[in-house]
Structure 1
Amino acid sequence: MSIQLNHTIVWCRDKRKSSAFLTGMLGLPPAFPFGPFLVVELGNGVSLDFHDKEGAIAMQHLAFLIGEDDFDRVFRRLREQGLNYWADPGKALPGEINRHDGGRGLYFDDPDGHLLEVITRPYGSGPE
């Protein structure tokens, strides 16, 4: 068997709010309960398992490869909700998108400060 990522836990203050934010932003089906988690299924068999945690939460970075039409929808939702977005992970280019590898990408924060990224081309897949 090849090694594949199956799931990761996303620590958050409110798993309902955080999972709903992600599924709403990406246009995914609602999360479903499994034990103490709310599980968000992604199209490649990987799940993000949201779990409530009290106290400090270490920031995670999650990047999603999406299609051009999905990018347009995510971008529209960000602007409609008045959310900040950046072209870079250091947040030095606010209100911009990047065009790495001939695609488009941007970064935005979720309710717990996790840095989410959407890209339309995998890094290293095309001309810069």
Structure 2
Amino acid sequence: MTAQFNHTIIASLDPQRMAKFYLDLLEAREEPGWGPFANISLAHGVLLQFASPPIDFPPQHYAYLLDDEHFDRAYATVCKREIEHWADPQRQLAGRINRDHGGRGIYLLDPSGHYLELITRSYLPVAG
């Protein structure tokens, strides 16, 4: 496979606030912005661009794979900031961590209402 994910634009009510939220939680790197975009980058050159769209937008789902130590730090941040979170996407198991796929995971909402999933094990087996 030669295709590699490069970037996406995430619809945002407040692009700067969204970039800061993701920057801290994902331990990302701040990147220069241009036009309507507040930008951050993740590992492997993946760029997240936050911008306010000219229309209403439905919530989206974004899942991020973290190593165990990063998950511990992110979860501590979620708890310290009292960010509501769940062990399940149906939002029935409040304040808990799931143990799905041999790892750990949580679901939460970002400041624009998108569903975030933080996991420590991929749903797919590791290639190689």
Matched residue of 1:107: which SS? strand
Q: Tell me the residue number matched to 1:22.
A: 22
Q: How many residues get paired? A: 126
Q: Specify whether residues 70 and 15 from structure 1 end up closer, same or farther in structure 2 by C-alpha distance, changes over 3 A only.
A: same
Q: Specify whether residues 108 and 31 from structure 1 end up closer, same or farther in structure 2 by C-alpha distance, changes over 3 A only.
A: farther
| Conserved? CA contact 1:19–1:31, under 8 Å | no
Matched residue of 1:25: which SS? helix
Q: Tell me the residue number matched to 2:86.
A: 86
| Aligned AA (1:91) | R
Deviation sequence 1:48-74 (CA, Å, 0-9, x none): 111123552211111111110100001
Instruction: Using the TM superposition, name which of 83-92 and 48-57 deviates more.
Output: 48-57
Q: Tell me the residue number matched to 1:40.
A: 40
1:59-98 → structure 2 map (5 Å cutoff): 59-98=59-98
Q: CA deviation at 1:44?
A: 2.3
Q: Measure the CA separation in 1 of the matches of 2:3 and 2:125.
A: 22
The answer to whether 1:118 aligns with 2:101 is: no
4+ aligned runs moved over 6 Å, structure 1 = none
| Aligned AA (1:17) | R
Q: Specify whether residues 112 and 5 from structure 1 end up closer, same or farther in structure 2 by C-alpha distance, changes over 3 A only.
A: same
CA RMSD of aligned residues (A): 1.8
Q: Measure the CA separation in 2 of the matches of 1:80 and 1:32.
A: 29
| Conserved? CA contact 2:29–2:42, under 8 Å | no
- TM-score by length of structure 1 reads 0.89
Q: 5+ unaligned residues in a row in structure 2: which ranges?
A: none
Matched residue of 2:90: which SS? coil
Q: 5+ unaligned residues in a row in structure 1: which ranges?
A: none
| Aligned AA (1:98) | N
